[in-house]
Amino acid sequence: MLKIGVFDSGLGGLTVVKALSQVIKGADVFYVADTKNAPYGEKTPEQILQYSLNITNYLIETHDIDALILACNTATAFAIKELRERYPHLIIIGTEPGIKPAIAQTKTGKVGVLATPATLSGDKYQGLVRELSLGKDIVFYEQGCPGLVEQIEKGETKSKRTKALLEAWLSPMQENRVDTIVLGCTHYPLVTEMIKEIMVCDIQLIETGSAIAKRLLSLSNVVNHENHGALSITIHSTDSINTDIIDTILTDYILHIL
């Protein structure tokens, strides 16, 4: 059985686990929701790195994982380089905003990016934008979304408060005819319906869960993984969690919640 460790600051990374479940078979998935330290997007780079190291050590020592997925754009930005250096034996896959597919799909050349403040200010994101947009007629409308992760973690994906936040953040994108929006946090796919409702246009929303799943499948031959059989999902948390969110994302699986 392929043993996969996945972590995020909360339950948003389960959107990546859902994508994995549609591609990967014959595997044990161990998910850690670091709710005690959520949200990562408002923590310092040093804090984020330490949280990531702590969780990785736990997954290695407790579950002897073969692969690690950072289901968090912010953790990827500040920790993946160090993790790859420390654990060269692991398959390590990060999460990055889908800038490349957004550039390929936009028709107006105007791309919105919703992300945590830490992701938008990070060197990894800034370098990705510079590299992929070089020589292209693309304008990015970037919007940090402080507080949105907390709203989603509380299960308020349809509340008036969440809608008011999104309306304020999306207003400049509406005015500037943005036709493609990058969801730069794994929590944000949980409010896609509200985003579409607010934008009131044929908007393309870019998330990266399926790309991560396909990448893992392509790398899993390194550990002689045969992609067939049952998939087991175990969820750990460092503090209390909203089980309603888990039921919303992973509706078709028997879960072990610890």
3-class DSSP state of 7: strand
65 within 8 A of 2, measured Cβ to Cβ: no
3-class DSSP state of 205: strand
Is the per-residue pLDDT at 257 higher than 80? no
- Check whether residue 157 and residue 107 sit in a common domain: yes
Is the per-residue pLDDT at 65 higher than 70? yes
Q: With the C-alpha atoms ordered 163, 138, 81, 88, is the resulting torsion angle positive or negative? A: positive
Is the per-residue pLDDT at 123 higher than 60? yes
- Check whether residue 78 and residue 125 sit in a common domain: no
Alpha helix ranges (H) inside 22-72:
45-63
Domain that holds residue 64: 2-95+209-257
Q: pTM of the full predicted structure?
A: 0.90
CATH number at residue 118: 3.40.50.1860
Residue 233's pLDDT band (boundaries 50, 70, 90)? very high
Question: Around 173, how many Cα atoms within 13 Å sit in the side-chain half-sphere?
Answer: 29
Is the per-residue pLDDT at 94 higher than 70? yes
Whole-number percent of the chain with pLDDT over 90: 81
The DSSP symbol for 106 reads: -
Environment class of residue 146 by beta-carbon count within 10 Å: exposed (0-12), middle (13-18) or buried (19+)?
Answer: middle
Question: What's the structural domain count of the chain?
Answer: 2
**Catalytic amino acids?**
72, 185
Bridging pattern class, strands 91-93 and 27-33: unpaired
150 within 8 A of 35, measured Cβ to Cβ: no
- Check whether residue 91 and residue 214 sit in a common domain: yes
3-class DSSP state of 23: coil
- Check whether residue 60 and residue 116 sit in a common domain: no
Question: What confidence score (pLDDT) does residue 142 get?
Answer: 97
Question: What confidence score (pLDDT) does residue 175 get?
Answer: 94
Environment class of residue 4 by beta-carbon count within 10 Å: exposed (0-12), middle (13-18) or buried (19+)?
Answer: buried
Whole-number percent of the chain with pLDDT over 70: 97
Mean pLDDT in residue range 224-234: 92
Is the per-residue pLDDT at 256 higher than 80? no
- Check whether residue 105 and residue 65 sit in a common domain: no
Residue 214 neighbours by CB under 8 Å, 6+ apart: 23
Residue 76's pLDDT band (boundaries 50, 70, 90)? very high
Is the per-residue pLDDT at 254 higher than 80? no
Is the per-residue pLDDT at 255 higher than 80? no
- Check whether residue 119 and residue 171 sit in a common domain: yes
- Check whether residue 88 and residue 106 sit in a common domain: no
Residue 252's pLDDT band (boundaries 50, 70, 90)? low
Give the chain's mean pLDDT: 93
Last residue within a domain, chosen from 206, 224, 246: 206
Question: What confidence score (pLDDT) does residue 258 get?
Answer: 53
Question: What confidence score (pLDDT) does residue 62 get?
Answer: 96
Mean pLDDT in residue range 207-236: 93
128-185: pLDDT as tens digits: 999 999 999 999 999 999 999 999 999 999 999 999 999 999 999 999 999 999 999 9
**Better-predicted residue by pLDDT, 127 or 42:** 127
- Check whether residue 83 and residue 109 sit in a common domain: no
Last residue within a domain, chosen from 165, 189, 206: 206
- Check whether residue 103 and residue 199 sit in a common domain: yes
- Check whether residue 19 and residue 48 sit in a common domain: yes
- Check whether residue 198 and residue 252 sit in a common domain: no
- Check whether residue 186 and residue 112 sit in a common domain: yes
CB atoms within 10 A of CB 246: 21
Is the per-residue pLDDT at 245 higher than 90? no
